[in-house]
Amino acid sequence: MSSILIKNGRLVDPANNIDGVKDILIEGNIIKEVNDSIEAQADKVIDASGKVVMPGFIDLHVHLREPGFEYKETIMTGAKAAAKGGVTSICPMPNTKPAIDTPERVKDLLERAKEAPVHILPIGAVTLGQDGTELTDIEGMKKAGAVALSEDGKSVMDTLVFRKALHEAARVGIPMFSHCEDKSLVDGGVMNYGEKSEELGLPGITNAVEDVIVARDILMAKEAGCQLHLCHCSTADGAVLIEMAKKQNLPVTGEVCPHHFAMSDDEITEDDGRFKMNPPLRSRADVNALKKALADDIMDVISTDHAPHGAEEKAQSMLKAPFGIVGLETSFALSYTELVKSGLMSLSKLVEKMSLNPAKVLKSDKGNLAAGRTADLVIADIDTEYEINADEFESMGKNTPFNGRKVFGRIEKTFVDGKIVYGE
């Protein structure tokens, strides 16, 4: 069995209350020992002095475009982007073509993902073809390996259909991941409604488009007794609603994407498709509320909503470009820079949001570097500033509004199952 000894790194492992210099011995695919100093012989010794070592990040929300849209991303290119971003597990959303809406399609996805360098944990659709009417075989998809259910890309607008799905999800014991958007209220909107949309002459998406479904889904999940994870929360009132749910001890978690706290709509300089995603970049007040909600543990998880698209598709007016930006290769750096470097929270808390809490949502034992756990971990340099350069992305999608942004937090090495999958 091959072994790797990582020496002198600052281990940040909130699951075990550790933030200090440690040595870590990996044997095969597991963590063999964590200690102040380990003198064991190993096949490879890595000096991590001055670097941080963290449990690998778990991204509960990504879009790989296979099957159906391989010109945007494949499972392999998306997984390589994850490895480069320090993300050791990714949950692909089911809005592929065909949608991941049967046990067979879940199995097919896992088969296609066999050679991927990171763990792929599929999410099954709520309704067949994501058309909002007929429920999928939720129990069958779970048995085939789906870790969650979602209709991401839209909401299940028929509340009776959604209620049935929540009851079945509760019975089977699988969480519902909700994309919250009242379709009828979108009304052609392409960016946040506000001064900026007025200035650019573009139709706006109000906060209520999202908030009314956040409220509905919390109330419906409460009625059904179902675990609910609210995807890509972007509004101040969304945080208020989640706080209310938490006060009632409901099994509700909130997710925020880096773009929703690292950029606000007033930074949109022109009508450019690269600034377009759903939900949209919101106001500075929303950004500040989301940061506070993360710091106060109202929001539990940071995930990316990594949504690659073709270059030509995104090089259009917001009226025409598809919604979505890539995120796997910028999530740690943007989060570290905006939330930790700025003094808002500790690095340990950020690791909770990116590794431990996502694992808890999935009831997984990942996100924890105790002896005996899977050796999924990441080494990063948090002291050297660098510039985000989309041309260097492993992802086929280069669509990001953060190109050229100066950040701290470069991933140096990523380990999955004890193997180095990024950085030599």
Do 229 and 255 touch, CB atoms closer than 8 A?
yes
259 vs 264: CA distance, rounded Å: 8
The pattern of x and - marking residues 137 through 156 that bind Zn ion according to CB under 5 A reads ---------------x----
User: Quick one: angle between helices 207-224 and 236-247, nearest 10?
Assistant: 20
Q: Which stretch binds ligand DOR (CB under 6 A): 81-89, 156-164, 319-327, 396-404?
A: 319-327
- Please give the positions annotated as active site: 305
**Which listed option, ligand DOR, Zn ion, none, makes contact with residue 95 (CB within 5 to 8 Å by class)?**
ligand DOR
Ranked by CB distance to ligand DOR, the top (closest) residue is: 324
With CB under 6 A as the contact rule, the residue among 51, 84, 142, 179 that binds ligand DOR is 179
Question: In 314-376, at which residue ranges do the beta strands (DSSP E only) sit?
Answer: none
102 vs 94: CA distance, rounded Å: 10
151 vs 338 by CB, closer to ligand DOR? 151
**Which listed option, ligand DOR, Zn ion, none, makes contact with residue 98 (CB within 5 to 8 Å by class)?**
none
DSSP sequence for 118-149: SEE--EE-SBGGG-SSSB--HHHHHHHT--EE
220 vs 257 by CB, closer to Zn ion? 257
Element (H, E) at 208: helix 207-224
221 vs 277 by CB, closer to ligand DOR? 277
Do 418 and 29 touch, CB atoms closer than 8 A?
yes
Query: Residue 304 interacts with ligand DOR (CB under 6 A)?
Result: no
Query: Residue 282 interacts with ligand DOR (CB under 6 A)?
Result: no
Cβ at position 307, least distance to ligand DOR in Å: 4
For 149, phi then psi, to 5°, come to -120, 140
Query: Residue 305 interacts with Zn ion (CB under 5 A)?
Result: yes
90 vs 64: CA distance, rounded Å: 10
Query: Residue 260 interacts with Zn ion (CB under 5 A)?
Result: no
Q: Which stretch binds Zn ion (CB under 5 A): 123-131, 256-264, 304-312, 339-347?
A: 304-312
Chain CA centroid to CA 355, Å: 10
Three-state DSSP at 189 gives coil
Query: Structure tokens of 196?
Result: 């900026």
Residues 131-160 that bind ligand DOR (CB under 6 A): 152-153
Residues 158-217 that bind Zn ion (CB under 5 A): 179
321 vs 354 by CB, closer to ligand DOR? 321
Query: Structure tokens of 364?
Result: 């997984």
Query: Structure tokens of 404?
Result: 């050229």
Residues 362-401 that bind Zn ion (CB under 5 A): none
Residues 83-102 that bind ligand DOR (CB under 6 A): 95
One-letter amino acid identity for 201? G
Contact residues toward ligand DOR (CB under 6 A) are 63, 95, 152-153, 179, 277-278, 305, 307, 322-324
